[in-house]
Amino acid sequence: MALATDTAPANPLLPSVTTIVDRWDETDDTFTLSLAPPPGYRFEPGQFNMLYVFGTGEVAISVSGDPGRSGRLIHTVRGVGSVTKRLRELVVGDAIGVRGPFGRPWPVDAAVGGDLVVVAGGIGLAPLRPAILHALANRDRYERLVLLYGTRMPRDLLYRDLVSEWRGRFDMDVLVTVDNADRSWRGSVGVVTRLIPRAPFDPKRSTVLVCGPEIMMRFTGRELVRRGVDPASIWVSMERNMQCALAVCGHCQFGPSFVCRDGPVLRYDDVDELFEIREV
Amino acid sequence: MAGRPRLAVLKFTSCDGCQLSLLDCEDELLAIAGALEIANFAEASREVAPGPYDLALVEGSITTAHDAERIRQVRRESSVLVTIGACATAGGIQALRNWADVEEFTRYVYATPEHISTLDRSTPVHDHVTVDFELRGCPISKRQLLEVVNAFLNRRRPVIPTFAVCVECKRAGVPCVMVAEGTPCLGPVTQAGCGALCPSYRRGCFGCFGPMESSNAASLSNRWQELGAGSRELVDAFRSYNAYAEPFREAADAH
Amino acid sequence: DVTYVIDRAAIDRMIGRLRDEGFTVIGPTVRSEAVVLDEIESTDDLPVGVGDEQEAGHYRLVARDADTVFGAVVGPGSIKRFLHPPEAPVLRFVRSGAGFSLVAPAEAPRYAFVGVRPCDVAAVGVQDRVFLGGAARDATYAGRRDGAVFVVANCVRPGGTCFCASMGTGPRASGGFDVALTEVGDGEEHWFLAEPGSELGDDLLRDVGASEAPDAAEERVDELMTAAAGAMGRVLDTDGLADALRESLDSARWEQIATRCLTCANCTLVCPTCFCASVDDQTSLSGEEAVRVRRWDSCFNEEHSYIHGGPLRPSPSARYRQWLTHKLSSWVAQFGSMGCVGCGRCITWCPVGIDITEEAAALREEVAHV
Amino acid sequence: MPTERTIDVEYLARVEGEGSLKAVVRDGTVELVEFGIFEPPRFFEAFLRGRPYSDAPDITARICGICPVAYQMSSCHAMERAFGATVGEPWRSLRRLLYCGEWIESHVLHVFLLHAPDFLGYESAIHMAADHREAVEKALRLKKIGNEIVTVLGGREIHPINVRVGGFYSLARRRDLEAVPLDEALDLARWMVAFTASLPMPDVELDFDFVSLRHPDEYPLNEGRIVSTSGIDVANDEWDRAFVEEHVERSNALHSRTVDGGVYHVGPLARYAHNADRLSEEARRAGADTGLPAVVRNPFRSIVVRAVETVHAVGEAIRIADAYDDTVDPFVPIAPVAGTGAAGTEAPRGLLWHRYEVDGEGRITEARIVPPTAQNQLTMEADVRAVLEANLSLPDDELQWRLEQTIRNYDPCISCATHFLRLEIDRG
Ligand SMILES: Cc1cc2nc3c(=O)[nH]c(=O)nc-3n(C[C@H](O)[C@H](O)[C@H](O)COP(=O)(O)OP(=O)(O)OC[C@H]3O[C@@H](n4cnc5c(N)ncnc54)[C@H](O)[C@@H]3O)c2cc1C
Ligand code: SF4
Ligand code: SF4
Ligand code: SF4
């Protein structure tokens, strides 16, 4: 979609207009959009875009695609509120506004030479997917590659095919758990933190990337430290109300950080104390 | 024009002012009538089509057994039920009866009270049925009414903030009447929506949009007392158009 | 640097010239029992002969010497209203086919601010770092900020809730202005010392016929300014404060403040540096047009911290804590200075008179004793 | 075979309340006509007791969202009389100006959105707009200007917040008033007279006892003595010498008679009958151009009288706005003392009378409110009976519509005057 460009230069609030090339459902409430990337678009794992639905509003959504493939811009979204539910109704060919990428990425390079451990809760796997794909594409640069993934129910598991493909790989350890199992579930049951003590990684040489609900990240951080991981090697991705992604609307503050600018990926030892305080 | 959402505008115990707000949208009225099928709006058309309705705007509080039944029927017939105005959202000024002897009220007003049948309480619609959205105000603001209709048509969340009148007061650049003139104002505990009308006319807010999201009526009451208000004034202030809304009810009962 | 002495008529000429050049001249003016900032046409619109009395939760206009031009310090409004307006369309879209396109925004006005205070321009400096200091310039702010002119009035008589001396932003402006005026007058004499702060300011002064100031005039003003610095209504000890507040997050005092705090957001809205804003789409009834509107928001509003499932700061104590620690502590990490310029507005305009200097001191005290 | 037609209008919606209409016709004779009000009672008079006097204008406004200014005016005047306070110029003129805004808004609303569709055979103004878009748009424009006057002076169009006993909380800025396009309104109002006069008009002449205010020099809005065709001529506080209120089973409203049992009529026809000589030149001319007689006895023709009154209100608004000075004090200080005060003012729909007793602390001890529709109830019944008798030959649906239109002649209050009637005609 052509955008009228006879306007003031580079208004950072101005989205590029692009179209939906493909879409599919992941779970009951979660779906993936595949967009034509705006010209020259590049991102790093962990960064996010602001997606705009005409007349409804804008939301922060992580990029979930493969950073090594630039042909498509992939977002996995859970329909929870007004904008995300409208996103779910969009069909192939519809226009959508994109601004980004924003934010600090996962420190995938810092992990080089050691173990890379990924801990995901629920939709938290979406922002971690690019990091995993990056690591797999550069597999020889890491020692062990581990994914610990938990959801509430078996039906909430994202990227089923991909996750089972990963499970089948010899160069990656994948442990999956659900909070509440049903009859069909034959895997482990319990919160994701319970996987940490038995997961195959060397705490002293690991970089851990964590994304999920705040409470899950808090307990995961504690558990990792208990297992001996250096707090400075643990990274979490925060969610806050976000309306501009430019650190000027003020909503995404988390202590001294703007999640959009200083995050969303933050180092655990910068936030562990804040995690212990209510309503920060 | 099939396919347009069907609108019903319905009245219970009230003054008609909130539905009149729709007719007061002089610039938008014909556009609204184009975007929605006005299926049932007695105030505007003698053509009354039966439900179901896609959007029902309900004005007025519930004060009779018959209306308590009728609102259930309305709920069954309406996909989205929006209550409009202090009567529908809080019981209205007529909820002052909730602290009084209704029989005595009836004797006072009517020569033959035995002809009057009414409940002894005036209650908001949400006490009777599930309400999808509440639009506050005595009367509602037509700008906000348009926003609700607009959001419904565009299927988005209406931008109807629940913060204090003070926010609009400051956005409008109105000098605070409480700080600059010592005039007691309910703005800090009242929900925005009117655009801080009263302070902009140098009058303290009297709470016609009902309690804001986190009303601290106790603290404001202390401040009013420092400014010279007595308990009687505090009770009068909290017991008006939204008297039966909980934070105001408690604030008045505390004095 | 050369300084000048001018009279009130010269200020009028200055206003006239700025208006002739197409500036919208904004200055203090009396509106319903308070001094506000609004468009002015001459010094007659300024609060001549008017002063103010300010305390926590209390503001009254009072009489000053009949010809005092800058006798009232800051009122509830600040420059923020003009550069970061309370409500502004930031983008406008129209539907076109399956997509949508952008409509060009209206041109921003050019502002000249006359009679604003040193803390006011310091606050503009703070907001500059917020809106212009990041990776991207905020277009709405930048469009209004670029080329704005500031004629500051130094504070000879600080207000009852002022503490700019503590924050290093006043009572004498040290930068960020085009002209700084100091009013000197005690009935017998009445003149203004005028310091140019930019080339534009110097031109402006020469143009209105300013004469060079004698040394005595400068000395006189130095004395007045020293006296003013000692006459602040409030004091805030900022030394180590940002660190102390970081330690205070679980203090019981937040709950105590919350019993008084109305969460009415007044403090944030009068604050000249607070910048929080919400962004919403406003659609036409037909759905063909959408305007993205930015409006002042506040960390005291529940929706400010809303994410799916509810607000992250449901309790008033957490909201007050967010505000105070942001102003005096986390702002330093974010933007390199505190987010407070010591103007005292939040103290005066809090309907229940909660005092940031008092609360910050008490919190520091508490942390020191833990 | 004897026939019985029962005309049962269950939901006459609101007549300052929800109303119903019941008529029984046996063997070609109208046996019964009952206009009932079943709007649930709200007990205003009862809960006003104990409230401070200053609440009266705000609280009584909530009786009616269509004419809140009328309630504010009657209550302010009554209170000021109770305290012996004189509120003269300029507040007197400004109140008239505010009232003119409400008259314009209310008259246009009634004439175009509620009443004109009857004459032209439409279900609503929105249906009418399909064929008469320009007329409806012009009407909305004029209505909006009326509302703008109320908004500038009162803060908002419904339940204005700026009216207080003694005057106003603050005065509107002159430049805001200047921005209201009153000259355009005058053209539109003149056009409205021509439009209403061109409507097909049923031919009826009825004998009414007209009751309204009469003022020595003005077309009455806020002040005047209460006069009637039958010779009543009393001061505002002598109401009980002239009128009585009754309460009957079928109704939740009280209705009024003259003390000697007569049925009377308030509203534009009554005002016009008693005060045609007080109309402004432009209003008189606009009426005369359409051949309007000095007394109109055809209730259907009230639609033209409303239009003429609208011209008057716009002209009056222009004159007051021209002389407006926004630098005066907004109100006269009020010192409450124990006392009693009564006041009638002319609401768009007719005389609205309030009476209060206040104690030494300024708290209300007694309150009485007589709204126009309560006073018109009996005359409406008589009128419906006459129209029914004259039109028995009409088929059911036409008869129903004609009766609805008859009720709407009175503009009893918006929803009853709208097109709400569910009418059953039972031929027995
Ligand atoms: C960096 C980042 C990355 C993210 N990545 C992803 C991702 O990859 N996939 C994904 O699914 N999600 C992601 N999210 C979360 C996603 O942004 C939110 O789920 C989304 O913003 C919800 O928007 P909504 O309009 O659908 O929901 P709503 O809850 O309707 O809207 C949220 C907004 O509306 C307001 N609001 C809504 N309801 C209320 C209410 N009742 N009271 C007050 N205010 C209300 C709030 O102001 C808020 O701004 C991410 C978030 C962040 C910050
Ligand atoms: S006048 Fe009232 S609403 Fe306005 S800021 Fe003051 S307290 Fe709040
Ligand atoms: S300021 Fe208060 S009383 Fe006045 S209109 Fe607004 S909400 Fe109602
Ligand atoms: S925090 Fe208070 S004193 Fe500091 S700049 Fe803001 S309003 Fe002024």
Q: Do B154 and A56 touch (CB under 8 A)?
A: yes
What pLDDT, on the 0 to 100 scale, is given for residue C256?
96
Whether D414 sits inside 8 A of B18 (CB atoms) is no
> Which residue from B127, B101, B102 is spatially nearest to B117, judged by alpha carbons?
B102
Joined together, the tokens standing for residue D40 give: 């649930």
Note whether B90 and B12 are within 8 A (CB). Answer: no
- Within 230-269 of C, beta carbons closer than 8 Å to B belong to 259-266, 269
Residue in D34, D115, D126, D408 to test binding to B, most B beta-carbons within 10 Å: D126
Most confident of B96-110, C104-118, C163-177: C163-177
Instruction: Give the tens place of pLDDT for each residue, D96-129.
Output: 999 999 999 999 999 998 889 889 988 888 899 9
Q: Which pLDDT band, with edges at 50, 70 and 90, does D3 fall under? A: low
pLDDT more than 70, % of chain B: 96
Q: Report residue D251's pLDDT band, with 50, 70 and 90 as the boundaries.
A: low
Mean pLDDT of C42-54: 96
Q: Average the pLDDT over C71-94 and give the result.
A: 94
The verdict on a CB contact (< 8 Å) between A86 and B156 is yes
Q: Which of chain C's residues have a Cβ under 8 Å away from the Cβ of A54?
A: 93, 95, 99-100, 290
Amino acid found at D319 = R
Most confident of A168-172, D22-26, D310-314, D382-386: D310-314
DSSP B144: H
Task: Collect all residues of chain B within an 8 Å Cβ-Cβ radius of residue D249.
Answer: 112, 115
Confidence check: pLDDT of B43 > 90: no
Structure confidence at residue D14 (pLDDT): 31
pLDDT bracket for residue C88 (50, 70, 90): very high
Asked if C138 and A14 come within 8 Å (Cβ–Cβ), the reply is: no
Task: List the single residue in C with minimal CA-CA distance to B144.
Answer: C282
pLDDT at A9: 47
Give the DSSP letter string of D227-274.
Answer: EETTS-EE-GGGHHHHEEEE--TT-SS-EEEETTS---B-SHHHHHHH
Indicate the SS3 state at residue D340.
Answer: strand
Each residue of B214-232: pLDDT tens digit? Answer: 999 999 999 999 999 999 9
Q: Which of C243, C200, C266, C279 is nearest to C363 (CA)?
A: C243
- Whether ipTM > 0.85 holds is yes
Chain A residue at shortest CA distance from B151: A56
Please give the average per-residue pLDDT across D292-309, as a whole number: 95
Q: Average pLDDT in the A138-162 region? A: 93
Give the model confidence (pLDDT) of B79-120 as tens digits. 999 999 999 999 999 999 898 887 887 777 766 666 667 788
**To the nearest whole angstrom, how far is the Cα of B5 from the nearest Cα of chain A?**
18
The residues near C36 (Cβ < 8 Å, ≥ 6 apart) are B173, B175, C28, C29, C30, C75, C76, C77
Nearest atom within ligand 4 for CA of residue C345: 7
Q: How many angstroms separate the CA atoms of D131 and D174, rounded?
A: 39
Interface with chain A: mutation pick from C94, C101, C128, C321, highest number of A CBs within 10 Å: C101
B34-38, B101-105, B158-162, C144-148: segment of lowest average pLDDT? B101-105
pLDDT at D18 over 80: no
Q: What average pLDDT does the segment D226-249 reach?
A: 89
**How, if at all, do strands A234-237 and A206-211 pair?**
parallel
Does residue A55 register a pLDDT over 80? yes
Instruction: pLDDT band for D48, please (50, 70, 90 cuts).
Output: very high
Structure-token pair, residue A153: 């129910």
β-pair type (B133-135, B6-11): unpaired
- Chain D adjacent subunits, 3+ CB pairs under 8 A: B
B183 touches chain D (CB under 8 A): no
Strands C306-307 and D423-426: what pairing?
unpaired
Tell me which amino acid residue A145 is. L
Confidence of residue D167 (pLDDT cuts 50, 70, 90): very high
Indicate whether C172 pLDDT > 80.
yes
Residue C17 reports pLDDT greater than 60? yes
Structure tokens of B240? 């008006």
Task: Taking residues C235-256, report their average pLDDT.
Answer: 94
For residue D131, pLDDT over 70 is answered with yes
β-strand pairing of C4-6 with C190-196: antiparallel
Least confident range from A250-254, D67-71, D378-382: namely D378-382
Average pLDDT over residues C189-206: 94
User: In D84-132, which ranges are continuous DSSP H helix?
Assistant: 91-108, 116-120, 125-131
d(CA B57, CA B46): 17
Task: Please give the Cα distance from A204 to D213 (Å, whole number).
Answer: 95
Chain C residues whose CB is inside 8 A of the B172 CB are 86
pLDDT in tens, A1-30: 333 333 444 688 889 899 999 999 999 999
pLDDT greater than 50 at residue D337:
yes
Sign of the Cα pseudo-torsion (B216, B220, B225, B226, in order): positive
Q: Which residue has the tokens 């300029």?
A: D90
Closest ligand 3 atom to residue D155 Cα is 5
Task: Choose the mutation target among B152, B155, B160 for the interface with A, i.e. most A CBs under 10 Å.
Answer: B155
Q: Nearest residue of B to residue C55 by CA position? A: B179
pLDDT in tens, D222-235: 999 999 999 999 99
Q: Stretch A130-142: mean pLDDT, rounded? A: 94
Proportion of chain D above pLDDT 90, given as a percent: 63
Q: Is the CB of B199 under 6 A from ligand 2?
A: yes
Encode B77-107: b = buried (16+ Cβ within 10 Å), e = exposed.
bbeebbbbbbbbbbbbbbbbbbebebeebbe
pLDDT at C222 > cutoff 80: yes
Q: What is the average pLDDT score of chain A?
A: 91
Mean pLDDT computed over every residue of chain D: 87
pLDDT at D250: 57
Q: Do A246 and C138 touch (CB under 8 A)?
A: yes
- pLDDT (0 to 100) of residue B111: 63
Q: How confident is the model at residue A267 (pLDDT cuts 50, 70, 90)?
A: very high
Element (H, E) at C266: helix C266-270
pLDDT of residue A228: 93
Burial class for B65, CB neighbours closer than 10 Å (0-12, 13-18, 19+): exposed
Per-residue confidence band for D421, with pLDDT thresholds at 50, 70 and 90: very low
Pairing type for strands A16-25 and A30-35 reads antiparallel
CB-CB under 8 Å, C266 with B166:
yes
A226-238: pLDDT as tens digits:
999 999 999 999 9
Q: Contact at 8 Å (CB) between A114 and A143? A: yes
Mean pLDDT of B47-71: 92
Atom of ligand 4 nearest to the CA of C327: 1
Of C130, C139, C318, the CB nearest to A13: C139
**What is the mean predicted confidence (pLDDT) over B124-133?**
97
Q: Which residue has the higher pLDDT, C260 or A13?
A: C260
Residue labelled with tokens 């967009």? A35
- Could you tell which of B21, B203, B205, B215 is best to mutate to test the pocket of ligand 3, judged by most ligand atoms within 8 Å of the CB? B205
Helix %, strand %, coil % of chain C (to 5) = 35, 25, 40
- Cis amide prior to A101 (ω within 30 degrees): yes
Q: Could you tell me if D72 and B96 are in contact, meaning their C-beta atoms sit under 8 angstroms apart?
A: no
Cβ contact, residue pair C330, A8, below 8 Å? no
D302-322 and D91-108 helices, crossing angle to 10°: 150
- Looking at the predicted structure, is the pLDDT value of residue A131 above 60? yes
pTM for this model (two decimals) = 0.93
Dist CA D422 CA D428 (whole Å): 18
CA angle, residues A170, A173, A179, in degrees to nearest 5: 145
* Residues of B whose CB is below 8 A from A87: none
**Whether the predicted pLDDT of A45 surpasses 70:** yes
How confident is the model over B131-135, as a mean pLDDT? 98
